[in-house]
A and B are shown apart, each in its own frame.
Chain A
Amino acid sequence: DTGVSQDPRHKITKRGQNVTFRCDPISEHNRLYWYRQTLGQGPEFLTYFQNEAQLEKSRLLSDRFSAERPKGSFSTLEIQRTEQGDSAMYLCASSTWGLATSDTQYFGPGTRLTVL
């Protein structure tokens, strides 16, 4: 039984550099979510996909952020021209949707980004 996996677990970068994170959801899950968590706060929603379609993006997701889920399986989150304020834990979650029962979001271990 494999859960949600994320890669890398840690990323340190210099301001202005681009970074890309990957998320592999639970295999039968058709919904995939990205959240961001900063110190002392709960996770904040960034965006979500149903299969390969990106259905909603938060106002938190500036134009420097882009997310893709090209084949409806894994997803990538790219941050261009990183800023120190982007330092956070980036969490991915997945769930099913469309079944008769309510479906829970299961989270990966997160990618901790530090922008120097």
Chain B
Amino acid sequence: DQQVKQNSPSLSVQEGRISILNCDYTNSMFDYFLWYKKYPAEGPTFLISISSIKDKNEDGRFTVFLNKSAKHLSLHIVPSQPGDSAVYFCAVTMDSSYKLIFGSGTRLLVRP
């Protein structure tokens, strides 16, 4: 049973446009949500997070939105840059420092 789903395995976006990556989860007990970026042959790099008491968190070009009623979160990257090309994983947890449950990832390609 997949508790976290990223239904789009890949996404291709033109440089300068918005990239929107989506993630759905099943358990309403999850209270902390994160996005990681991963380049080939490297470990995941933390990008941005949001707790369940918020519905939006921004950090520069990256914004995460949380819709608790729909059990859905999304990552917006504006403007997208070629260096953003990577695999993006959403992750959820019931405690900010407890085990993470990851989605299967979305490969983002930003075309110059």
- Please give the residue numbers on chain A whose beta carbons come within 8 Å of chain B beta carbons, in ascending order: 4, 6, 31, 33, 35, 40-45, 48, 56, 58, 91, 93, 95-97, 102-110, 112
Contacts of B46 in A (CB 8 A): 104-107
Cα distance A56–B101 when bound, in Å?
A: 14
Cα distance A37–B9 when bound, in Å?
A: 16
Contacts of A35 in B (CB 8 A): 100
- Please give the residue numbers on chain B whose beta carbons come within 8 Å of chain A beta carbons, in ascending order: 4, 32, 34, 36, 41-46, 49, 51, 89, 91, 96-105
Nearest A residue to B99 via CB reads A45
**Given A95-B97, A102-B32, A107-B43, A42–B49 Cβ distance below 8 Å?**
no
Cα distance A95–B98 when bound, in Å?
A: 9
Closest 9 CB pairs of A and B: A42-B102, A102-B96, A107-B43, A45-B99, A97-B97, A103-B97, A107-B44, A95-B97, A109-B43
Nearest A residue to B45 via CB reads A107
Quick check: B89 and A31 within 8 Å, CB to CB? no
Quick check: A104 and B49 within 8 Å, CB to CB? yes
A43: which of B42, B44, B96, B97 is its contact (CB, 8 Å)?
Answer: B44
A102: which of B42, B51, B103 is its contact (CB, 8 Å)?
Answer: B51
Quick check: A31 and B102 within 8 Å, CB to CB? no
Nearest A residue to B105 via CB reads A42
Contacts of B100 in A (CB 8 A): 33, 35, 43, 45, 105
